[in-house]
Amino acid sequence: MTTPLLHGLPPIIDDGARVLILGNMPSVMSLGAHEYYAHPRNAFWRITGEIVGFAADGPYEDRTAALTAHGIAVWDVLRSCRRVGSLDSAVEPHSMVANDFGQLFERHPQVTRVFFNGAAAEKNFNRLVRVVPDLPYRRLPSTSPAQTMRYADKLAAWRLIGEL
């Protein structure tokens, strides 16, 4: 049986984006819902909601609008890959295709900082992406429920995204 080929989501970005948050590849639940970080135990919306000031359980459109209003964009490193389940460790390495970051940075030169949501995003960005502007890049703890770090520690690390 062939491992399914998965395709990611379009970026959440507008012309006011100054910060780019990169995950690795959306979970099965996120792909099914067509929403970033749709798993209820993923802390992304809770953390960004606390930092930016919106209800983590509000409508998806309101949450994404709050991020873009604060200059925060969201995307993933991978455009497509083969994976069973949602774990980054289950991605077949030779199947990974990166998103077109050259085009993204060309269209959005106002992006001045990039944050990785976890180690897999950082690793795959460094491995696959060739067009890399001279910007500060920083890995943050993964918001995934698989990352066992305490919520308070994750939140403290993620506060950097709000320091514009």
Active site residues: 42
Select from 26, 28, 38 the least CA-distant residue to 64.
38
> 76-101 burial, b if ≥16 CB within 10 A, otherwise e?
bbbbebbbeebebeebeeeebebbeb
Place of tokens 């289950």: 90
Partners of 139 in beta bridges: 116
